[in-house]
Structure 1
């Protein structure tokens, strides 16, 4: 690790002192209120989640951040956990919506149908190439998925969402340099339980219905089946002029979009042949079809007063709002490749499946064996065009199939031991296939990609209670990975690299101190690693290879190292949970993507280094004196900046604006990373009360704040987000037994639109003139009515 400068050392030391002081004071106050001051002799003893039902009723959250079920405050990791009840009450049905409840986590769909932005504390990956692994991995029932298209895998019927912030390599392996979003499906119930629900969202004319049934199937066997269907017209207005106004324009058949039809299904079985043997089987299926993803992108800034380029038109909207301009495609393109739509309407069709077999065997009273077998598959077909205007420009038709098999074994002793250990082995086999067909005027670049990979990754973790309160844990994970690629069917042999390999050691060490049974402080040092790989680009690579040009489309691994300190406590008879953390992590060999508007391509290279450091705090309060009321809040300060990065100058950038004319690069050292606001915060509350002898009600509200942030990795002026405040609110009435419920749910009631990612519009600007700026945006206001029937 490079030497910390004096300011960093001062910040970190101050954070440790402040966190320790705050934790001590919190505990002291809590003990005074509760009438006692003596420390318990079992301060570090783990609570048994199977027998601590009373604590669970008081709101104690259990997580699996260290592959064991533990109270959240006992885990020395910065975690945000969303229980199923909060997800349900707020109507959060996908990863993008879930991320709005957690500061520093940003998840959004991207223009490319297979892409998405997953960003944690400013750390993210390129999303314009489907083959790139993500820095923020989504872990579904124990199986890691580092493919950006998982953003399209709708989420419902969840038991809990855990967001682990910062590097998490020891327990979760590669591709966790930014963090982990861990999704746990709702478990089968001991008794028969079923629910039916229907909903309508007015702004997008979205209908949806879902249902589940759960309960015992036979002695020692429980099952659960859940399904969801939704259909929407879309929430964006698509404004395209008639060809008489703009020659070449193709007005869309749908003036709203993107229209989305989605079917989701989940099933699970829990089989317990004996008290020592448990088998959990989970499966998920998603079938989504939308009218294209480039509609999600719009011009947000036109430097010369109106949209530029041959594909724009006079008067085209150049503001961040709910108006986009995306014409249909010529039906004649279908004669060049049948995947282009004959009716000209863009589409993205995605099918995803995930299967998980989680087996636990209690070898002895003290030793347990866990095996998790995973299968993930995605099939995608998409056709759209890149213009941000009325006239079709670059058209593409893409087919992708990605299949991943994974196997993890873990052997561990009981957490109640003074000396604890865990041994693990992770194996993965991966295949990625992509078939691209592109139209650029009279050019027809086409290429097929096949990328395979295999991973071997053992790890060991050891823990020792130095005293009754002080614990030291540490471990290391080794990763050995190989990837191979084939482009085309042999015609490009010798023009590109065929194989790359990576080896990595990721150690971690943590010191934890239990002030009381309900208060802990910790300090941790961590390292992590993100896979390198091969870039697939639908324009640049096939064009170069067809011209006989040798190229290297590979990029190497990305690494992270640093430390985190934190404090957590339950106070006032477990009615208040507070936690705080400070961190400093350094990232090297960043895999950054820069858009080259001349060749309409995003090029990924290991070209930079960055540092993220900050402080975050969150709380949950359920006052005993006010039954039915709860309040949650979080605030985060994050300083995520480049240590060095010199991308190509943006269009129109002069020497006065920071361009080194001789090298055509600009120095972005000190600039903020994309999608990394310095300040972000959330605040939400729920109150449940009685309307009458027969009816109850619920009020809930949520506030999300984000400061300004860069919209892309190259810090192009006028492509940033200025910051926003978004408000959610809801009201529900239900009968006393909660058999039925009628809810009115409002999301983003302030109708704010913010930048998810931004870029220079193709074929606008030049060496001396600025380009127009386009951006993908979030969904605007949502007004939903929902009826639920749930017999108890």
Structure 2
């Protein structure tokens, strides 16, 4: 097996993966060589990517298959200025584009990078748990996208379109094996017409890992509890070593029904299901930089490093049997289940197209976490059960008159509900007087938020002259959110009657045990775009754009006795963006060369930043002002002289900084000399004082590299009689960046480069194919988000401060997968 894996890696290193920029399958009748046309729906209608005045990276169905793009993370790996960090708790992810993203620690924050699936908005970070396959295309739209994509797209949009039934019957079977994680994969797709007007498509996918991506290295820990109801009597408990991660099992299914009773009416219904379970919710958390000079973790005793190794233990087995939402054996896990139904109607009435998108989606996520993320004998464990439900209806009308004026008008309604329950165990606390479920809890949390959104939007397009077009539009949004938060149980030692007054109980005598919030938000988001087409193959555009992202409620926060404003800790204002973007798109050299250039500058007001405030033991969602600006250049070359060759690449410069964050929080262990020298009121404290704030104005945002880029080459050619061969390679580069949003230099991720590659052989008519796909062949480790290690760091605001260990959200290691595809 080792010899085989070595040969596969060597073969992959000579090959390559398909361009992320865009080759759709060759259109019938197209001339040999040259660029293929890329169709996108960035303005909710089909247009060539070279004629739409939006900065967009399109990934075609062909490239999706060649690079095995089956998740949001894999989309990011193919898009240089998009980053996705997989988080254990909170929202479950940090999606960042052009340096703007949403930190992962609050489940109540929706992502600044919106995800849209078949026209329906999915804004929750847990979308990262979804697997995606049988995709027609992926579009990554950069910058604010308020007008055409629902809500909350202040940084950009990832839009996915799944395949519909076609006019011809097809059966596709695909099997694969990935060597690193010993992962088996199987897919089956059956599609075709049942009549002249009705078609059906069934797509199924299942995966199972016998191995893992990350090694979990630890020793059996002894967790000793002290019973506060029995004179602090001590009881030892054994915590076994957690499994290597993720050990994933996944099943995906989608059924599509398409009814086309006439050329003017199309109705499509898609029902989907997703089940995903891993052996650990924090399997990719790595202590890559430790606060101690020795480089050894302050908790686990292991040396910190930039590798694919973590150190975590299971919940003690005897405690796990009664611990809420725990597996009986205490095994750490993450289980995600989702269901969705999506209805899409397109009706052409003369020169007017009426479209409707109706969507209901719900997901439930449960996990058990070693929530210090590097276990010790003083361990911290938690479990969570959260549910999200959303119903939305969007209706839109768009004209296509021959005259100079055209219109688009529409409306959106969405109703949402979040349910949240969490249970936390730490500090060796026990209470034998409590119920069995609460006996070993430090505290529990329960919360919900009911939301309702109504929006109206419209755009007028005026073709001033045949080559100049002016488009102006606006979206009005009205939102209400009703939220509730309570800590139904706390160990007495952590309330006012105990020795550590941290948690406020539900029956707190000050009446602040239950937090209720009723929030109302209103916003107008205008947008103006001027487009000039001086000749065929050249597009010049400039745009003024604004965007809005919901304010809300941090359902997973903490109501601390030491907080003077518990309601303020859990609520936060909307995030808003405004700015300019200009670009030029060119198709040159007889349709052999694309050259595109984009420049942008956007200001963000009340950028939502979540922070765990360890001095008062509370989560706080803060807001700050920021700016992102930069230049993006991309090219694609497909010479007619060598049909099948495609060379492509991009270079991006982005500068993302806080413009006003005068009282930002100090990171754990930050000293006055490092800037932690301000009080809440803004007064400077001398060295040796106890500052709790820092001025972050001018400091970089989280996961905001200044330089990113990509370069790739692909070649497909017929060989022999009726066969086809292809090789491709794609490299991705990032300069260094701070993974923390709070100026912690020790969180810095060094510059890195990754290499993906692939090699394919099969029938010229695609009846069958064997492919070898390699990702991150350099086995480069990098992080796309970070948290200060819980229970590490000390002396924040003093000269003797000790930095916390940095726990980063690591990427996938080198993977090599072989796949076999057969069409019937």
TM over 0.5: yes
The structural deviation recorded for 1:388 is 2.9
* Worse-matched range after superposition: 453-462 or 328-337: 328-337
Could you tell me how far apart the structure 1 residues matched to 2:30 and 2:620 are? 55
Map 1:79-98 onto structure 2 (within 5 A).
79-98=56-75
Give the structure 2 partner of residue 250 of structure 1: 239
Give the structure 2 partner of residue 480 of structure 1: 478
- Say whether 1:279 aligns with 2:267: yes
Q: Secondary structure at the match of 1:718?
A: helix
Give the structure 2 partner of residue 9 of structure 1: none
The structural deviation recorded for 1:720 is 1.4
Give the structure 2 partner of residue 786 of structure 1: 819
Deviation per residue, 1:525-559 (Å, 9 max, x gap)? 01110100000226x23x55999976651111011
Could you tell me how far apart the structure 2 residues matched to 1:250 and 1:399 are? 22
Q: Secondary structure at the match of 1:670?
A: coil
Unaligned runs of 5+ in 1: 1-50
Give the structure 1 partner of residue 434 of structure 2: none
C-alpha contact 1:594 1:647 (8 A) present in aligned 2: no
Distance of aligned partners of 1:58 and 1:772 in 2 relative to their CA distance in 1, 3 Å threshold: closer
Q: Secondary structure at the match of 1:151?
A: helix
Give the structure 2 partner of residue 571 of structure 1: 588
Map 1:535-554 onto structure 2 (within 5 A).
535-537=554-556, 540-541=558-559, 544=561, 552-554=569-571
Give the structure 1 partner of residue 84 of structure 2: 107
Q: Secondary structure at the match of 1:656?
A: helix
* Worse-matched range after superposition: 568-577 or 751-760: 568-577
Could you tell me how far apart the structure 2 residues matched to 1:62 and 1:667 are? 46
Give the structure 1 partner of residue 537 of structure 2: 518
Deviation per residue, 1:486-520 (Å, 9 max, x gap)? 22488687652420010000000011001113211
Give the structure 1 partner of residue 809 of structure 2: 776
Give the structure 1 partner of residue 693 of structure 2: 665
Deviation per residue, 1:7-49 (Å, 9 max, x gap)? xxxxxxxxxxxxxxxxxxxxxxxxxxxxxxxxxxxxxxxxxxx
Map 1:283-682 onto structure 2 (within 5 A).
283-302=271-290, 303-309=292-298, 311-313=299-301, 316-363=302-349, 365-391=350-376, 393-414=379-400, 416-441=402-427, 442=429, 443-488=441-486, 495-537=514-556, 540-541=558-559, 544=561, 552-598=569-615, 602-606=619-623, 608-645=624-661, 646-661=663-678, 662=685, 663-682=691-710
- Say whether 1:241 aligns with 2:219: yes
Deviation per residue, 1:170-201 (Å, 9 max, x gap)? 11232010000000001211101121111111
* Worse-matched range after superposition: 436-445 or 762-771: 436-445
Deviation per residue, 1:351-373 (Å, 9 max, x gap)? 1122211111112x211211111
Could you tell me how far apart the structure 2 residues matched to 1:630 and 1:86 are? 12
Deviation per residue, 1:456-483 (Å, 9 max, x gap)? 1001100101111111000111000000
C-alpha contact 1:194 1:211 (8 A) present in aligned 2: yes
Aligned residues: 734
The structural deviation recorded for 1:283 is 2.4
C-alpha contact 2:448 2:555 (8 A) present in aligned 1: no
The structural deviation recorded for 1:582 is 0.3
C-alpha contact 2:253 2:272 (8 A) present in aligned 1: yes
Could you tell me how far apart the structure 2 residues matched to 1:290 and 1:210 are? 20
Distance of aligned partners of 1:672 and 1:631 in 2 relative to their CA distance in 1, 3 Å threshold: same
Q: Secondary structure at the match of 1:764?
A: coil
The structural deviation recorded for 1:250 is 3.1
Distance of aligned partners of 1:550 and 1:701 in 2 relative to their CA distance in 1, 3 Å threshold: closer
Deviation per residue, 1:687-737 (Å, 9 max, x gap)? 112443353211011100011111011121211111100001111111333
Q: Secondary structure at the match of 2:714?
A: strand
Distance of aligned partners of 1:694 and 1:274 in 2 relative to their CA distance in 1, 3 Å threshold: closer
C-alpha contact 2:180 2:213 (8 A) present in aligned 1: yes
Give the structure 1 partner of residue 228 of structure 2: none
Could you tell me how far apart the structure 1 residues matched to 2:28 and 2:532 are? 22
Give the structure 1 partner of residue 24 of structure 2: none
RMSD of equivalent CA atoms = 2.5
C-alpha contact 1:138 1:145 (8 A) present in aligned 2: yes
Deviation per residue, 1:309-359 (Å, 9 max, x gap)? 4x422xx13001011101111123334434122211111110112221111
The structural deviation recorded for 1:231 is 1.0
C-alpha contact 1:114 1:380 (8 A) present in aligned 2: no
C-alpha contact 2:626 2:658 (8 A) present in aligned 1: yes
Could you tell me how far apart the structure 2 residues matched to 1:685 and 1:142 are? 32
Could you tell me how far apart the structure 2 residues matched to 1:513 and 1:671 are? 37
Map 1:741-752 onto structure 2 (within 5 A).
741-752=769-780
Could you tell me how far apart the structure 2 residues matched to 1:710 and 1:190 are? 50
Q: Secondary structure at the match of 1:85?
A: helix
Q: Secondary structure at the match of 1:427?
A: strand
C-alpha contact 2:297 2:303 (8 A) present in aligned 1: no
C-alpha contact 1:496 1:551 (8 A) present in aligned 2: no
Give the structure 1 partner of residue 254 of structure 2: 266
C-alpha contact 2:422 2:444 (8 A) present in aligned 1: yes
Distance of aligned partners of 1:657 and 1:550 in 2 relative to their CA distance in 1, 3 Å threshold: closer
Deviation per residue, 1:763-782 (Å, 9 max, x gap)? 11211222221111001100
Give the structure 2 partner of residue 14 of structure 1: none
C-alpha contact 1:537 1:601 (8 A) present in aligned 2: no
Q: Secondary structure at the match of 1:228?
A: strand
Map 1:112-261 onto structure 2 (within 5 A).
112=89, 115-232=92-209, 233-243=211-221, 250-252=239-241, 254=243, 256-261=244-249
Q: TM-score, normalised by structure 2?
A: 0.85
C-alpha contact 1:594 1:713 (8 A) present in aligned 2: no
Give the structure 1 partner of residue 500 of structure 2: none
Q: Secondary structure at the match of 2:330?
A: coil
Could you tell me how far apart the structure 1 residues matched to 2:746 and 2:565 are? 38
Q: Secondary structure at the match of 2:50?
A: helix
Could you tell me how far apart the structure 1 residues matched to 2:787 and 2:353 are? 51
Distance of aligned partners of 1:701 and 1:601 in 2 relative to their CA distance in 1, 3 Å threshold: farther
Give the structure 1 partner of residue 729 of structure 2: 701
Deviation per residue, 1:204-261 (Å, 9 max, x gap)? 111111111111111211221111100113111111024599997734253x211110
The structural deviation recorded for 1:638 is 0.4
Could you tell me how far apart the structure 1 residues matched to 2:392 and 2:260 are? 23
Q: Secondary structure at the match of 1:182?
A: strand
Distance of aligned partners of 1:415 and 1:156 in 2 relative to their CA distance in 1, 3 Å threshold: farther
Unaligned runs of 5+ in 2: 1-26, 225-235, 430-440, 489-505, 679-684, 686-690, 796-800
Q: Secondary structure at the match of 2:320?
A: helix
Deviation per residue, 1:129-150 (Å, 9 max, x gap)? 2221111110000001110000
C-alpha contact 2:587 2:593 (8 A) present in aligned 1: yes
